[in-house]
Amino acid sequence: MGRPKRADTAGYCYHMLNRANLRATIFHKPADYEAFERILDEALDRFEIDLFAYCLMPNHYHLLVRPRIDGTMARFGQYIGLTHTQRYHAHYHTTGQGHLYQGRYKSFPVQSDEHFLAVARYVERNAYGGKLCQRPEQWAYGSLFQWTQRTIAGKTRLSAWPIRRRSDWAEHVAIDFSPEERQQLDWSARRGVPFGDATWVESVARNFDLESTMRPRGRPKKFPPAEKNP
């Protein structure tokens, strides 16, 4: 089976995600998270891309980005994955012991309206949802911490959002999604389905040749032949 279709067009926002191979832990201590953030900064210096939100988890990461040149997200993602893998193996002396990540990163386009805010919230509450902190803004390895603490790293790492966030953003991030919202977000993350209103999703899927991401996986069901009339 070929690789799934993937959009990478300048001016569109995208959620990026990658998980460790076999969901193994790849961030074991604070220095591991900090090393990945340095790689993230290097990649932002090298490639024309905006980073709006991120969250590093023990066995995966989430990024919300917008490439400024067509094809930039692929080069950005490749640099992060390859550089992190090489440095991880060198640090832990695990070269030759298998892949660090499951494969290439996954991504899906995001509409730059309230759907952008939903994905940003999805990204920034990940550690809180995983019970790694008591408040979303307490997780030091994510954009919400950088934004609320007004850190120097956050000011240089993060770009201004295309839509204004609400004044009580940190409190809003702590509120859980409805089952319907969660289902739609998880579906987009798994399949690469564009995330937005129905008209926008249909247009983007058609223009970026992503219609296959919206179809159920597996072979179509086979039905028995209709009985002939006597």
pLDDT for residue 216: 62
Confidence check: pLDDT of 226 > 60: no
Judge whether residue 177 has pLDDT over 80: yes
Give pLDDT, residue 224. Answer: 46
pLDDT tens column, 37-76: 999 999 999 999 999 999 999 999 999 999 999 999 999 9
Give pLDDT, residue 12: 97
pLDDT tens for each residue of 15-33 = 999 999 988 999 999 999 9
* pLDDT exceeds 70 at position 123: yes
Strand partners, 61: 18, 56
Percent of the residues in the chain that have a pLDDT greater than 70, as a whole number: 91
- Res 212: pLDDT: 83
Angle ∠(216,74,132) on CA atoms, nearest 5 = 75
Instruction: Enter the pTM of the model.
Output: 0.90
**Burial profile 112-126: b = 16 or more Cβ within 10 angstroms, e = fewer:** beebbbbbbbbbbbb
Instruction: List the one residue out of 17, 78, 18 whose CA is nearest residue 47.
Output: 78
Residue % of the chain over a pLDDT of 90: 84
Give pLDDT, residue 213.
81
Is 204 in contact with 165 (CB distance < 8 Å)? no
Please write down the HEC assignment for all residues of 113-172: CHHHHHHHHHHHCHHHHCCCCCCHHHCCCEHHHHHHHCCHHHHHHCCCCCCCCCCCHHHH
**pLDDT recorded at residue 223:** 40
pLDDT of residue 5: 67
Span of 94-98, 169-173, 184-188 with lowest mean pLDDT = 94-98
The full set of domains in the chain, from first to last, is 13-181+189-197 (3.30.70.1290)
Q: How confident is the model at residue 1 (pLDDT cuts 50, 70, 90)?
A: very low
Q: What is the pLDDT of residues 69-115, one digit of tens each?
A: 999 999 999 999 999 999 999 999 998 888 999 999 999 999 999 99
The pLDDT value recorded for residue 3 is 57
Phi and psi for 107 in degrees, rounded to 5? -155, 160
pLDDT of residue 4: 58
